[in-house]
Amino acid sequence: MDQTARWDPRTSLKNSDRMSRNDCFQFHCGPTVPCFTECCRKLDLALTPYDVLRLCKRLDMAPSDFLDDYTVIKAGSRHGFPEFSLKMGMDGERLCPFVSENGCTVYEDRPGACRIYPLGRASSKSRSTNLNEEFYFLVKEPHCKGFEQSRRWAVDEWICDQEIEQYNRLNDQLMELYMLGFRRGLAQLSTQQLQMFVMACYNLAKFREFIFKTSFLTKFQLSINEIDLIRNDDVALLEFSFKWLKFALFGVASIKLKSDGNIAS
């Protein structure tokens, strides 16, 4: 289940609340709406690996520095993996560090939960078809005046306008990893497993070094094209990190071991 800014995943959803991509809703947000930036305070905003990737590039920061300066880590989830949240202001307002009077200062690279708002999304993989099935729902907060505006959107139109598809695709791969942890009763990662997870998902620079500066490529069967992609493309590297973690943590045959020991080139 995707996380949104304040939506409580324990809240049950009636079938009537569920929206397909063809359903419509009424909403507009911007400086002319009275509640502008109210949704940027007093919130618990989870950051996915792709969120961190985009923000690191936007701020020209090393992942390790970004994690230290802008995130807090939470343990004790039902799936066993730690979760990172954006570090908010320390006063009662708990303001997002990237919001100003004029709005979001990282708007083009804002986290997925901010992009999709006021929608929430639930996604799971069907065991019968092995395809991701999803539905959407409205996240209505008392302060929000956006629903009083006249602009109408189809869910699919909103997804396109806010450029959410890439976030959904990568977040679904993260959720598959979480579900493996949940189904296999992963109560808590060991210290080594925790380091592996944080490196592979949230510190791609370090993960790339791990692949190319250790004996990694002597052990796993990757094509020249795959190696070139993960060397130069951070999104491809992130997708590979999910595959590697499934293999390393759960023994899933998501990547193949070499049988001959030759180093790929």
Q: Are 123 and 133 in contact (CB under 8 A)?
A: yes
Q: Compute the mean pLDDT over every residue in the chain, rounded to the nearest whole number.
A: 89
Residue 2 has pLDDT above 70, yes or no: no
Residue 16's pLDDT is 56
Of the pLDDT bands very low, low, confident and very high (cuts 50, 70, 90), residue 185 is confident
Place of tokens 């590697």: 244
Of the pLDDT bands very low, low, confident and very high (cuts 50, 70, 90), residue 56 is very high
| Most distant CA atoms of the chain, gap in Å | 65
Q: Are 48 and 83 in contact (CB under 8 A)?
A: no
Residue 178 has pLDDT above 60, yes or no: yes
Of the pLDDT bands very low, low, confident and very high (cuts 50, 70, 90), residue 263 is very low
Residue 262 has pLDDT above 70, yes or no: no
Residue 3 has pLDDT above 50, yes or no: no
Please list the alpha-helical segments (H only) found in 75-125: 112-116
Task: Give per-residue pLDDT as tens, 137-170.
Answer: 999 999 999 999 999 999 999 999 999 999 999 9
Residue 172 has pLDDT above 70, yes or no: yes
As a residue count, the chain comes to 265
- Among 23-27, 72-76, 106-110, 234-238, where is mean pLDDT lowest? 72-76
> Residues 175-186, buried b or exposed e (16+ Cβ, 10 A)?
bbbbebbeeeeb
Task: Give per-residue pLDDT as tens, 203-254.
Answer: 999 999 999 999 999 999 999 999 999 999 999 999 999 999 999 999 999 9
Task: Give per-residue pLDDT as tens, 87-108.
Answer: 999 888 899 999 998 999 999 9
